Chains A and B, each alone.
Chain A
Amino acid sequence: MKTLDDLKALREKLKEDIRVRKNDGIKIIIGMGTCGIAAGAREIMSTILDEIATRNLQNVQVQQTGCIGMCEQEVLVDVIRPGEDRITYGKVDVNDAKRIVAEHVVNGRIVEDKVIGKIKQD
């Protein structure tokens, strides 16, 4: 899937894909300030995107944010599952990112050893 012809073929595939794609809203947010990027945020976001593609996850939204002032804890990754606390993970490496997707995003089990914050959601 890398040529313009592939892109045209993708058009038909997407028509079917959009129908099955629903958004029950698991959100992953990655810190992409200068501090985050210097600490490896691009690798982390790319790993998460690749995991979502490989696992064919239909209900996950990946977003980025700027610096939130906890530069020493970068790379920061937040996971929000609907109806649950917002979890902030700190000093996330590529391996942690894969665990966070497999454990927390897919199975709903928080990766406790990387958690640096929890925010109650109403």
Chain B
Amino acid sequence: MREISLHILDLVQNGIEAGARNILISLNENNDGYFVFSIKDDGHGMSEETLKNVRDPFTTSRTTRKVGMGIPFIDMMTKQCGGNFDIESEKGKGTLVTASFKEDNIDRPPLGDFAKTMKVMIVGAPQVDFEIVYGKGRESFICSTKEIKKILGADTDFTNPLVYEWVENYIRNEIEKLDNK
């Protein structure tokens, strides 16, 4: 995958398919020389047995094909970029994945279009509450669907174009503000 955003989108799908109601995405473009992100979900989690084999492409929970490439992909990518990939999970509790890349490694993919990615993610799983903590060094901003619901109402329809366009523009604008600091 050409963008870190796409890996994030892919990993978040795992949480959605695990029945998560809350997903927290934290990322930092430059945390002491590393590009880091983590995704925490409260889905059904994995058994120790599954967790042990999760980096193996021939391990997958799906039934439509016999290989699962998402986690092996990101695992390989972080290691190629002088970083690391870690996954913690507990059955019934949820899963936490963390990935790091050396920020200045020549093979590190760009973050890519994160605002667009979040728009697609939020519309695709309107049943999930997302919280995004986006940092660059010590500066950061937060985008949370729960906070949006406080303003627009508990029944906010994230599949409404007016709402998802705002989310995309807001994130794009906040990233730009961080970049200009």
Contact pattern, B 73-90, Cβ under 8 Å of A = 1, otherwise 0: 100000000000000000
Q: Enumerate B106-133 residues with CB–CB distance to A below 8 Å.
A: 113, 116-117, 119-120, 123-125
**Cβ-defined contact, A46 with B119, below 8 A:** yes
**Cβ-defined contact, B10 with A37, below 8 A:** yes
Q: At the interface, yes or no: B62 with Cβ under 8 Å from chain A?
A: yes
**Cβ-defined contact, B152 with A10, below 8 A:** yes
Q: At the interface, yes or no: A75 with Cβ under 8 Å from chain B?
A: no
What total of chain A residues lie within 8 Å of the partner, measured CB to CB?
37
**Cβ-defined contact, A66 with B62, below 8 A:** yes
One of B28-36, B44-52, B64-72, B97-105 at the interface: B64-72
What total of chain B residues lie within 8 Å of the partner, measured CB to CB?
39
Q: Which residue of A lies closest to B63 (CB)?
A: A69
Question: Could you say which of A46, A53, A66 contacts B13, with CB atoms under 8 Å apart?
Answer: A66
Find chain B residues with CB under 8 A from A115 CB: none
Q: At the interface, yes or no: A8 with Cβ under 8 Å from chain B?
A: yes
Q: Enumerate A55-107 residues with CB–CB distance to B below 8 Å.
A: 56, 61-64, 66-69, 71
CA distance A8 to B164 in the complex (A): 14
Q: At the interface, yes or no: B58 with Cβ under 8 Å from chain A?
A: no
**Cβ-defined contact, B163 with A34, below 8 A:** no
Find chain B residues with CB under 8 A from A62 CB: 123-124, 159
Question: Could you say which of B13, B62, B166 contacts A6, with CB atoms under 8 Å apart?
Answer: B166
**Cβ-defined contact, B148 with A67, below 8 A:** no
CA distance A2 to B9 in the complex (A): 22
Find chain A residues with CB under 8 A from B163 CB: 10, 14
**Cβ-defined contact, B9 with A71, below 8 A:** no
Given contacts A11-B151, A66-B13, contact A49 B123 (CB under 8 A): yes
Contact pattern, A 1-41, Cβ under 8 Å of B = 1, otherwise 0: 11110111011011001100100000000101111011000
Give me the interface of B with A, judged by CB distance under 8 Å: 1, 5-6, 9-10, 13, 17, 62, 64-65, 68-70, 73, 113, 116-117, 119-120, 123-125, 148, 151-153, 157, 159-166, 169-170, 172-173
In the complex, 5 of the A-B residue pairs with CB atoms within 8 angstroms, ordered by the A residue number, are A7-B151, A11-B153, A30-B124, A38-B1, A42-B120
Known contacts A35-B69, A62-B123; 6 further A-B pairs (Cβ under 8 A): A7-B170, A10-B162, A30-B124, A37-B6, A38-B1, A62-B124
